[in-house]
């Protein structure tokens, strides 16, 4: 396994594992729990050491799954979880919008610790910026949890560069999460340069474009009724048909390298900066192995330049999220 270092010296595997889909969040039907426990433990056996979850995934069931699977190997892994949505700490019922009031953060962390079967959270993210609570107040609340030994590192998810700077001034950030892939390259313009300047790690979610970059989705694909991609403009039939040119490019590069399109997509991300650690999600062991295979790939400067040139010729269609979800990001 190769390793990378996020901000504040947090060392993690160069590719992490996004665990959201294991309990049915966003992509429809939940997978068999025993199978997911085995998958998580197999990931540890392969040296993978960054596992990403959140209280809202389920809610609660995803953290509970990780607690069951990773408690026996807790000293070998880095667990990242998130607070920030309005989730009832007892019932798990989700309200409308965000909630990062300090008292809610403290309650959320206690619940996460219990479900994860641990005495500390390695990396705690604010899941979405709460417009009702100044980010300095959020950072101070997390700082208190760090002083208490319950949290070791602080991060933000889907935050603007202004919010990142303000939070970092109170409590230095270890990582920022946001979507970043060949399917969504906007972070290259402002976010990534800011993180590089400030020494903050970048943990891209959806590094395979919610599955599109694997080459397994085309205009004829039909998603389950509970799959969020049914509501995403970029996954409309017309957009998928138009955006297929990107998958064709990946397939060509993969053939040249004896790799898969997914491995090329991940290798491209890893080549963008040494502080980038993508967290592709999967519920299948062979896909986990495929993703980890990207670590053995090296894209030359010439190959990266070829990709850059070709990307300029492919105008992607469709917003990356539904309008309501876009309004909840700080970007």
Per-residue confidence at 50, pLDDT binned at 50, 70, 90? very high
Rounded to 5, what percent of the chain is helix, strand, coil? Answer: 45, 15, 40
Average pLDDT over residues 15-21: 97
pLDDT tens-digit readout, 270-297: 999 999 999 999 999 999 999 999 999 9
Whether 327 has a pLDDT exceeding 80, the answer reads no
Structural domains in the chain?
Answer: 3-326 (3.20.20.100)
- Residue 3 CB partners (closer than 8 Å, separation 6+): 11, 12, 13, 14, 49
pLDDT of amino acid 226: 87
What's the whole-model pTM score? 0.96
- Residues acting as catalytic residues: 57
Task: Give the torsion sign (CA, 82, 88, 93, 95).
Answer: negative
């Amino acid at each position: 396994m190769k390793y990378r270092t996020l901000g504040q010296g947090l060392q993690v595997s160069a590719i992490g594992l996004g665990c959201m889909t294991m309990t049915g969040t966003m992509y429809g039907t939940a997978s068999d729990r025993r199978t997911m426990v085995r998958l998580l433990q197999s990931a540890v056996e392969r040296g993978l050491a960054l596992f990403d979850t959140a209280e809202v995934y389920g809610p609660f069931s995803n953290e509970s799954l990780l607690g069951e699977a990773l408690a026996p190997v807790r000293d070998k892994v880095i667990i990242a979880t998130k607070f920030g949505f309005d989730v009832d700490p007892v019932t798990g019922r989700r309200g409308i919008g965000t909630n990062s009031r300090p008292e809610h953060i403290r309650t959320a962390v206690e619940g996460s610790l219990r479900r994860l079967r641990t005495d500390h959270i390695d990396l705690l993210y604010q899941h979405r910026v709460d417009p009702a609570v100044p980010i300095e107040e959020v950072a101070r609340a997390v700082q208190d949890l760090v002083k208490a030994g319950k949290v070791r590192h602080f991060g933000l998810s889907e935050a603007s560069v202004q919010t990142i700077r303000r939070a970092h001034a109170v409590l230095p950030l270890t990582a920022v999460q946001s979507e970043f892939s060949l399917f969504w390259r906007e972070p290259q313009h402002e976010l990534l340069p800011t993180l590089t300047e400030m020494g903050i790690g970048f943990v891209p979610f959806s590094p395979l474009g919610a599955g599109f970059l694997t080459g397994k989705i085309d205009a004829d694909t039909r998603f389950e009724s509970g799959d969020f991609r049914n509501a995403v403009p970029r996954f409309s039939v017309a957009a998928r048909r138009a955006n297929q040119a990107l998958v064709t490019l990946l397939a060509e590069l993969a053939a040249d390298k004896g790799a898969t399109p997914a491995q090329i997509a991940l290798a491209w991300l890893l080549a963008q900066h040494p502080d980038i650690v993508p967290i592709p999600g999967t519920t299948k062991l062979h896909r986990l192995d495929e993703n980890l295979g990207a670590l053995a790939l090296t894209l030359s400067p010439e190959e990266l330049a070829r990709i850059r040139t070709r990307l300029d010729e492919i105008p992607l269609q469709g917003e990356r999220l539904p309008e309501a979800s876009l309004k909840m990001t700080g970007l």
